[in-house]
A and B are shown apart, each in its own frame.
Chain A
Amino acid sequence: MNSVERTDVLVIGSGFGGAIAAYHLAAGGAKVVVLERGPWLSSGEYEHDFKLGSSYTRIFDFVVGDGMSVLGGNCVGGGSVVYFAAMPRAPRFVFERRGSIARRMWPAAIDRDTLDPWYDRVEESIPITRQGWDDVSYAGGLWAAACRHAGRTANPVPAAVDTSTCVNCNWMMAGCRFDAKQSLLLNYLPAALAHGAQIRPLHEVQRISKTGDGGYRVHYLHVNDEDYRLTEGSGTIDAKVIVIAAGAAATPVILQRSEPDLGPMPYGVGRYFSGNGERLNTAVLNEDKVRDVLGLDRGDGLAYAANQIGKGPTVANWDRLDGSLPEYTRYSLEQLYFPPGLGTILALTDGPDASWFGPRKKEMLKRWQSWLIIFQMIEDDNEGVFGPPPERGNADRLSQQMLGVGRLSYKPTANTQAAWAMADADCKDILERDGLATVTPWTNDLVGAYTVHPLASCRIGDDPHTSALDDRHEVRGHPGIFVTDGSAVPGALTVNPAMTISALAERAVPGIVRAAQERGVEVTYGAPAPDGSTSGRRGTAHLVPSLMRK
């Protein structure tokens, strides 16, 4: 029983970065195995239930760090199953950002123009809807009306949601029961399976070692399907090429833990983490003012009182996404639904004795249906650093599911804090006009800052001192190991990042195919979109030769 399992390409993680790579490599003829630490649920298993042990806690992970907590997916399909499906492209100025290193942080090869064809390829593969005002939820409409009242614009957000089947239940973080959300389980992953890729859930990769023939050995633990604190055995798989896409809170941890076997890691592994500059504000609306000042009426006697209704974010204010403004003053303000469970404890009462608990907080909760949550995405300073890895995975798991303590440390710089303060003031300015609402930011005192979009902990770049990956996503000094998830994004994007993570993963594939070919794998590049469409492939064809260069 000592036979060693071998594959051509081993993909760690099945979110955007993993699924896109797995599909193209399998379609190109490579033998692909995907290891996913979380369970594999189908749409019938997605529950509308906050009970611990329901799909909500099985597929969602909350890792508490020192100064930064990270929320992410933990299932086959990764973030795409639990996310709110906002899919905007990053604004042009983002690619010119300098951030904490005082020079352009993106590789010279990438700007908005060179990434647009890859965005197009994603848009052909994951159906994305430009939402109309009929699709916009009451909460989004309220945010739009408040923005107009304050002299601002407001945009319905492009989303990977089939609005014809969406029932606006706002249970997106528990998985979409109605297959309205176009998660990877509906496009890239089934296409990868059809081309022979294997996906193995509840396989938590711990580390990578060398095989002696230029290949790699991946070491994993089987995770219990109900109590993730427990493991049930272990195993290894050998592969010629490794694609790590475990998420920006886990990918660097796997590489750190592999360092004794693989040799020194680039300085950027586990450094430059960005929380995408995220922060939340809660507005508690005065229903009478919503009617009188904004002229809104649901037609059923209510002006708003619809916090529970919708599909995550539907409308964003993008007035500050202006490349002529200085760095750290550009941000989105996006209406967002955040469910109870984690979505109320950090909200603060207003007034001088702001508190997250107590009698006044209880009174605030009574008005929960009149809450409007605004999501800020500012430019942060890539302050996050990962400490030494925990015993297994990326966290010491506290609860049977969902809650663990990780090793990420994040101390916001003056730039980040000033940007948050500016965005806080802007939210207040828009929503407190004429007594519409009282607005308070969520406290960072309890679990630090928090992000649902961890980025940059193993990023691409041209400078080996500040980027763990070259511009083709290969880990510097470790040929044949690639990173294609949010870790690879150089910094905060000022918008939701799934679209950019996906476009970068699409762009990384030709280089991974080339590396596999050099390692003797019979694989070609050039698969169409998962549904067979080919215009995205045509649009990127001129960019492929340079990405497949030796």
Chain B
Amino acid sequence: MGPQTPDDHEHRTATLEAFADTIIPGEKRSAGDRAVAGVGQGGGAVQAGAIELLEWDATGLTGGLGDFARALDGHATAYAAEHGIVLDGDVPAFVSLSYDDRAALVRWLTAPGHPEKALWVSLALFCNMAYDSAAHMSTADALAAGHPGLTAMGLSLPDADGLWRFRAWSYGRPLADIHPDTLPNGSLA
């Protein structure tokens, strides 16, 4: 990878944000927000910390993020040409697409048989993890901070020591007949 100017990095971040927002969409962070398409209510993968997670080398993706962004913009440019879409030169090509076009492109890139499928699935996996498990921060801290994904999913808060314990867990009564061949040890005969 060659040296990057701040513009390169901004472009890369915007493109990756637009990808993450395609996976779990959120609402725009500001009126001028281009990367987040704004088709979701509340925070999506971007607000959940997708870029923080991707920029953490523990994922194994960080060194390739520039390539991911360039390739995605390349695919977006080709997609736009094929569909007669005029791109806005102010933002990276993928950011310039509407949500539905971004989604169609992601669907194509992650479909069985696409030669780059494994790469795009791995990128999507971490974008999803930023939202559904806040894998870049401690789960208890994420919940305390109102992390958009964990909060929307309704995860309960842990005890003061950071561990979950449920004092009620069972309906506490027989709810079905058991299989007639069940042995005293619980297995089938």
Separation in Å of the B109 CB from the closest CB of chain A?
Answer: 12
Give the 9 A-B residue pairs with the shortest CB-CB distance, closest first.
A158-B186, A130-B186, A154-B176, A50-B133, A144-B175, A167-B165, A168-B169, A89-B187, A144-B176
Taking the closest CB of chain A, its distance from the CB of B115, in whole angstroms, is 13
Which of chain A's residues 239-271 have a Cβ closer than 8 Å to chain B? Answer: none
Question: What are 10 A-B contacts with C-beta separation under 8 Å?
Answer: A51-B135, A51-B139, A130-B184, A152-B176, A170-B164, A341-B135, A357-B103, A368-B154, A403-B122, A445-B110
Q: Give the complex CA separation of A11 and B153 in angstroms.
A: 43
Tell whether A153 pairs with B59 under 8 Å between CB atoms, given A89-B187, A359-B40. no
The reply to whether A154 and B170 form a contact with Cβ atoms under 8 Å apart is no
The yes or no answer to B189 lying at the interface (CB within 8 A) is yes
- CB A465 to nearest CB in B, in angstroms, measures 32
Q: Which of A153, A154, A362 contacts B24 (CB 8 A)?
A: A362
Q: Find out whether the CB atom of B177 lies under 8 angstroms from the CB atom of A362.
A: no
Q: Is the interface of A mostly helix, strand, loop or mixed?
A: loop
1/0 per residue A97-126: CB within 8 Å of B? 000000000000000000000000001000
Task: Choose, from A131-139, A381-389, A517-525, the stretch at the interface.
Answer: A131-139
Q: Which residue from chain A places its CB closest to the CB of B155 in the assembled complex? A: A308
Whether A133 and B166, one on each chain, are in contact in the complex, defined by CB atoms closer than 8 angstroms, is no
Asked whether B36 is an interface residue with its Cβ less than 8 Å from the other chain, the reply is no
B184 proximity list for chain A (CB < 8 A) = 130
Alpha-carbon distance A339/B25, docked complex (angstroms)? 21
Contact with B along A505-526 (1 / 0, CB 8 A): 0000000000000000000000
Chain B residues within 8 Å of A358, by CB: 22-23, 25, 103
- CB 8 Å contact bits of B165-189 with A (1 = contact, 0 = none): 1101111111111111010111111
A389 to B73, CA, bound (A): 35
Shortest Cβ distance from B101 into chain A, in angstroms? 13
Contacts of B144 in A (CB 8 A): none
A447 contacts across to B, CB distance below 8 A: 121
* B121: A residues at CB distance < 8 A: 446-447
Contact A141/B171 with A52-B59, A64-B118, A341-B129 known, Cβ cut-off 8 Å: yes
Residue of A whose beta carbon sits closest to that of B107: A355
Q: Is B1 an interface residue, CB under 8 A from the partner?
A: no
Do A340 and B166 touch across chains, with their CB atoms under 8 A apart? no
In the assembled complex, the CB of B48 is this many whole angstroms from the nearest CB of chain A, namely 11
Asked if residues B185 and A169 are in contact (CB atoms below 8 Å), the reply is no
Please judge, given known A-B contacts A169-B164, A357-B106, whether A136 and B118 are in contact too, CB under 8 Å: no
Contact A308 B156 (CB under 8 A): yes
B104-147 vs A, CB cutoff 8 Å, 1 = contact: the mask equals 00110011100000100110110011011111111110000000
Residue of A nearest to B132 (CB): A340
Q: Does B149 sit at the interface, judged by CB under 8 A?
A: yes
Whether A401 is near chain B, meaning CB under 8 Å from some CB there, is yes
Q: In the complex, A67→B176 CA distance in Å?
A: 37
Count A/B pairs, Cβ under 8 Å: 210
Complex alpha-carbon distance, A362 and B129, angstroms: 13
What CA separation (Å) do A52 and B139 show in the bound complex?
A: 10
Q: Given A136-B170, A362-B40, does the pair A318, B179 have CB atoms closer than 8 Å? A: yes
Whether A365 and B169, one on each chain, are in contact in the complex, defined by CB atoms closer than 8 angstroms, is no
What separation, in Å, do the CA atoms of A230 and B60 have in the docked complex? 12
Tell whether, in the assembled complex, residue A137 and residue B169 are in contact, meaning their CB atoms are under 8 Å apart. yes
Looking at A213-221, A392-400, A412-420, the stretch in contact with chain B turns out to be A392-400
Give CA–CA (A138, B173) in the complex, Å.
11
Whether a CB of chain B sits under 8 angstroms from the CB of A344 is yes
Is the CB of A487 closer than 8 A to any CB of chain B? no
Given A48-B139, A52-B136, A399-B58, verify A318-B188 contact (CB < 8 Å).
yes
- Interface of A toward B, CB cutoff 8 Å: 47-54, 64, 88-89, 91-92, 123, 128, 130-131, 133-138, 141, 144-145, 147-148, 152-158, 167-171, 177, 229, 296, 298-300, 305-306, 308-310, 315, 318-319, 321, 339-341, 343-345, 355, 357-359, 361-362, 365-366, 368-369, 397-401, 403, 405, 445-447, 499
Cross-interface CB contact of A154 among B110, B175, B180, cutoff 8 Å: B175
Known contacts A50-B133, A362-B40; 18 further A-B pairs (Cβ under 8 A) = A48-B162, A49-B138, A64-B118, A88-B188, A133-B174, A133-B175, A136-B171, A137-B170, A148-B175, A156-B178, A167-B163, A168-B169, A171-B164, A345-B124, A355-B107, A357-B22, A357-B103, A401-B58
Interchain CA distance A96-B189 in the complex, whole Å: 15
A89 adjacent to B135 (CB under 8 Å): no
Q: Pick the contact of B171: A296, A369, A403 (CB < 8 A).
A: A296
Q: How far is the CA of A153 from the CA of B155 in the complex (A)?
A: 31
Tell me how far the C-beta of A496 lies from the nearest C-beta in chain B, rounded to whole angstroms.
Answer: 11
Pairwise interchain contact A400-B44, C-beta atoms closer than 8 A: no
> CB of B86 within 8 A of chain A?
no
Closest Cβ–Cβ distance, residue A441 to chain B (whole Å): 15
Is B78 in contact with chain A by the CB < 8 A criterion? no
- How distant is the Cα of A158 from the Cα of B183 in the complex, in angstroms? 11
Q: Are B185 and A148 in contact (CB under 8 A)?
A: no
For B26, the closest partner residue in chain A by CB is: A362
Q: Which residues of B contact A177 (CB under 8 A)?
A: 163
B138 CB contacts on chain A under 8 angstroms: 49, 51, 54
Whether B186 lies near A51 (C-beta < 8 A) is no
Cβ-defined contact, A445 with B185, below 8 A: no
Q: Residues of B contacting A52 with CB < 8 Å?
A: 53, 56, 58-59, 135-136
- Complex contacts, A357 vs chain B, CB 8 Å: 22-24, 103, 106, 124, 128
Residues of B near A168 (CB, < 8 A) are: 165-166, 169
Asked whether A155 and B186 contact (CB < 8 A) given A147-B176, A345-B125, the answer is yes
**Is B158 engaged at the interface, CB distance under 8 Å to the other chain?**
yes
Residues of chain A contacted by B107 (CB below 8 angstroms) = 355
- If A167-B164, A366-B153, A368-B154 touch, whether A50 touches B128 (CB-CB below 8 Å) is no
CA distance A399 to B174 in the complex (A): 45
Is B39 among interface residues, defined by CB-CB distance under 8 A?
A: yes
Distance of B189 from chain A, by nearest CB (Å): 7
Given A167-B165, A169-B164, A341-B133, answer yes or no on A445-B25 (Cβ-Cβ < 8 Å).
Answer: no
B81 on the A face (CB < 8 A): no
Instruction: Kindly report which residue of chain A lies nearest to residue B162, judged by CB atoms.
Output: A48
Residue contact B152 to A365, C-beta cutoff 8 Å: yes
Q: Are A133 and B153 in contact (CB under 8 A)?
A: no
Given contacts A148-B176, A344-B132, A365-B152, contact A50 B170 (CB under 8 A): no
Q: Which residue of B lies closest to A399 (CB)?
A: B60
CA distance A520 to B188 in the complex (A): 43
Chain B residues positioned under 8 Å from A131 (CB to CB)? 186
Inside 8 A of A299's CB, which chain B residues have their CB?
A: 168
